[in-house]
Structure 1
Amino acid sequence: MNHSHDLPHQEKPKPKPKPKPKAVIVGGSIAGVSCAHALIRVGWDVVVVEKSRKPPKGSPTGAGLGLDPLSQELIGTWTGRPELLHDITAPLTIDLNQAIDDEKTRKILARDENFNHSAAHWATLHDHLFSALPPEIFLWGHLFLSFSFSYDKQSVKIKAQVLDTGETTEVDGDMLVAADGCLSLIRNHFLPDVKLRYSGYCAWRGVFDFSGIEDSETIKKVRQAHPELGKCLYLDLAPGNHTVLFEIPNKRLNWIWYLNQPEPDLQGNSVTTKVRDDMIQKMYQDAEKIWHPALVQIMRETKEPFINAIYDCDPLERIVWDNVVLVGDAAHPTTPHSSRSTNMSILDAAVLGWCLEKWGSEYLTAALEEYQSIRLPVASKQVLHARRVGRIKQGLTLPDCEPFNPNTATPEECKMLPQSGLPFFGHNPLLGSSDLLLAGKR
């Protein structure tokens, strides 16, 4: 007699869920936290290894930056709080290049009223991105030492030193994302002969905090001399020099002065240098000979100005090896003249996320090859354009034109000055921004 119908109904065993793929991101700067957002959104587990002992929240270091419209939209989709980004940025709608002569008289060389960027402070933007991530994914105070592939190249293991204890620890993942900056050790592993290229000039820079002294003579005079502060990127050009001035939120002015000089002797793994008091005093005296007194006064009242040596790198031939991928300044160190460093980092992260989602983790090689094919040609052209613009603004030689003199420049010569001359300004070849934003919203 068959009693099989009396047996309890047996369910098919459920297939085991596939383990989530895991990425190890080396570097917790804006490129690193952007990648964390983009990868978590497309189903990856993420660990961020960062040598700083804590997030840079509230840090006065770092400087102002310009975010383009696509970066702003991407950040809004990652955090889900675009209104908060609006609160920590200020409009930069005008890009204004002016010549300044020996009499401190200014003449407009190029004015673009459709610049359409926003100004932010580096540390504030970092905090905005960091705060929207799960805090447990960060390994703070971990100094990256080295990495190795598994025998089948399917996984990667990184070694890091825990700075507080001196111990060495290991982290495994399916993919290594090198977001370790322009002096990237991971890039150096694959491309030991690639060196940063000194631009021929350095930048004095600082952030002037005028909170509580909004009615001071200094601020009155700087607003008189720069009536569109708060929405304008001001660039003053003198032979062999140029300055940048713009307002960032929380009552701060970001200023930069680029000046031609031999390559400085930098200590350690950094492109910034601490300055002595006598160097600062000389900077003030030199500034008085060239720049508008209102700007010089801002320089004088800025706490702890510092020197940034300006480097970039010839475009790389590749930014992907097996399951290792370069992003941000590790992939394309650039001079700052096209406001690209942060924007390129954010776009790298978005494109990487889009490619990983499109191909799935089982086709990781194809995903990373597509990421490289999209980002490498665009970033390479933008790096070379920023280099050229920097040399023009500094009056340095170029093979195809005479050194630029802002006081005698023709309208034709001034066409290179606005940032809108950047290749791919405002659009992204091979990938519509709507694709990236849809990927970001999932």
Structure 2
Amino acid sequence: MSKLSVAVIGAGMGGLATAAALTRAGVDVQVYEQATRFARLGAGIQIGFNAMKVMRAWGLEPVLRREAFYPRSWNNKEFDTGAVRFDMVFGQSAEDRYGAPYLLGHRGDLHSALASAVPADVLHLDHKLVGIAQRADRGVDLTFANGRKTSVDAVVASDGVHSFVKETLFGRVEPNFTDRIAYRTVFPASLLNGYEIDDCTKWWGPDRHIVIYYVKPDRSEVYFVTSQPEPGFTVESWSAMGDVRELRAAFANFHPQVRRVLEACPSVHKWALVDRDPLSYWSEGNVTLLGDACHPMTPYMAQGAAMAIEDAAVLSRCLTGVDRDGVADAFRRFEATRKPRTSRVQLSSRTNTWLKNPTDPDWVYGYDAWNEPLTEMAPA
């Protein structure tokens, strides 16, 4: 039997994780990304225990430990007094409990690590998908804006919340703007002039919050991200700039540690926070969605990328040993296995209550995508 050929659309976290997983499952993978180059966006990312358990199988744990910060805890505090609401302790005790470390990193460093797990010759930049069609023999034809065309056995669309493939399969679904916005940035800790901050803290205000943490093991870079009301703002781009003076004014009554961080930051990005309901279906024939394309979520549980990375592991298990005729059933099994979990995380994140008070996080962090039972499917 010849190798199954799969095109992965999108080379973000989910797309690269999918390529890493499928390559190791014996699948012929090609990744198509519309960007002409990768940009190191100024954003941090929390790499949870559940995501680390997946990436450990690809040999990425050592590099992530070298590049990311190993926090004592995720501490949740009152916005003004600093009183502790719930201190989710990490470190060695949590690593022993969940079987992997919890790390805080720069999104660019995680992306680079995932890219290193994928053969360089399978990644194709400047390939914006503009056409997709399934044939009667179950093959899939793809057309790109640069004029290139290709045919594969199956397609995995990890092309984000504005997924072209999702719109082609299931139509356009308008996002639910929450009337809230977020500011974020990464900046050198040296701008704090020796002022010490907590490892990782979420400061909970009455109608807004800010999360602050280090993203480098030597504490040389600081990241923060906020959520606050601003009705009418609908720019969903991660590259839009915000006014740091407006940000400082919005948090003027927060704890001195928060104000000190905001005074030190030189610039910020700003984007609208949106919410989307779980999709009814993820796949059609030999095409499936993955990650944000099918289960985008608010950032309040820091699990968006982790869900895509888990998806990749489970999908590779479903496709192992499958030929073209078995892809559609494998995709249905993938969806049936993953959807209950991703929907629960998606809807839980929507509430923005994760770790606000004492919480049992085992259902999130204890998940092991390599060993989770695959759903048994009735014959189609």
TM-score, with length taken from structure 2: 0.88
1:32 corresponding residue in structure 2:
15
User: How far did residue 292 of structure 1 move?
Assistant: 2.8
For residues 23 and 432 of structure 1, do their structure 2 counterparts lie closer, same or farther at Cα, with a shift above 3 Å needed? closer
Is this contact kept in 2: 1:188–1:194, CA < 8 A?
yes
Is this contact kept in 2: 1:322–1:365, CA < 8 A?
yes
Is this contact kept in 2: 1:76–1:85, CA < 8 A?
no
User: Looking at CA atoms only, which structure, 1 or 2, has the larger radius of gyration?
Assistant: 1
Amino acid in the other structure paired with 2:221: R
2:145 corresponding residue in structure 1:
161
2:160 corresponding residue in structure 1:
181
Give the alignment partner of residue 292 of structure 2, picking from 313, 329, 353.
Answer: 329
Alignment of 1:357-396 (within 5 A): 357=320, 359=322, 361-389=324-352
Cα separation, 2, equivalents of 1:82 and 1:280? 35
Query: How many pairs are equivalent?
Result: 363
User: How far did residue 257 of structure 1 move?
Assistant: 1.9
Give the alignment partner of residue 272 of structure 1, picking from 238, 246, 251.
Answer: 238
User: How far did residue 193 of structure 1 move?
Assistant: 4.8
For residues 425 and 29 of structure 1, do their structure 2 counterparts lie closer, same or farther at Cα, with a shift above 3 Å needed? same
Alignment of 1:248-397 (within 5 A): 248-249=215-216, 251-266=220-235, 270-272=236-238, 274-275=240-241, 279-287=243-251, 289-357=252-320, 359=322, 361-389=324-352
What RMSD over aligned residues (CA atoms) do the two structures have, in Å?
2.4
For residues 143 and 374 of structure 1, do their structure 2 counterparts lie closer, same or farther at Cα, with a shift above 3 Å needed? same
For residues 93 and 22 of structure 1, do their structure 2 counterparts lie closer, same or farther at Cα, with a shift above 3 Å needed? farther
Give CA-to-partner distance per residue, 1:212-251, whole Å, 9 cap, x none.
x3xx6x2433x1xx3x42xxx3011121111101111161
User: Which runs of no fewer than 5 residues in structure 2 stay unpaired?
Assistant: 96-101, 375-380
Q: Does 1:147 align with 2:111?
A: no
Is this contact kept in 2: 1:382–1:422, CA < 8 A?
no
Q: Matched residue of 1:424: which SS?
A: helix
Amino acid in the other structure paired with 1:175: A
For residues 341 and 420 of structure 1, do their structure 2 counterparts lie closer, same or farther at Cα, with a shift above 3 Å needed? farther
1:417 corresponding residue in structure 2:
356
Alignment of 1:166-245 (within 5 A): 168-210=147-189, 213=190, 218-221=192-195, 223=196, 226=197, 228-229=198-199, 233-245=200-212
1:113 corresponding residue in structure 2:
89
User: Which runs of no fewer than 5 residues in structure 1 stay unpaired?
Assistant: 1-17, 163-167, 393-414, 437-442
Give CA-to-partner distance per residue, 1:237-287, whole Å, 9 cap, x none.
121111101111161111112111114142xxx4335236xx332222333
Alignment of 1:38-49 (within 5 A): 38-49=21-32
For residues 325 and 29 of structure 1, do their structure 2 counterparts lie closer, same or farther at Cα, with a shift above 3 Å needed? same
Cα separation, 2, equivalents of 1:273 and 1:381? 29
For residues 93 and 297 of structure 1, do their structure 2 counterparts lie closer, same or farther at Cα, with a shift above 3 Å needed? closer
Q: Does 1:134 align with 2:72?
A: no
Give the alignment partner of residue 76 of structure 1, picking from 56, 71, 79.
Answer: 56
Is this contact kept in 2: 1:242–1:258, CA < 8 A?
yes
Amino acid in the other structure paired with 1:220: G
Cα separation, 1, equivalents of 2:328 and 2:72? 40
Cα separation, 2, equivalents of 1:76 and 1:110? 29
Q: Matched residue of 1:373: which SS?
A: helix
Cα separation, 2, equivalents of 1:48 and 1:144? 11
For residues 49 and 432 of structure 1, do their structure 2 counterparts lie closer, same or farther at Cα, with a shift above 3 Å needed? closer
Q: Matched residue of 1:370: which SS?
A: helix
Cα separation, 1, equivalents of 2:357 and 2:165? 34
Which piece of structure 1 moves more, 196-205 or 417-426? 417-426
Give % identity: 22
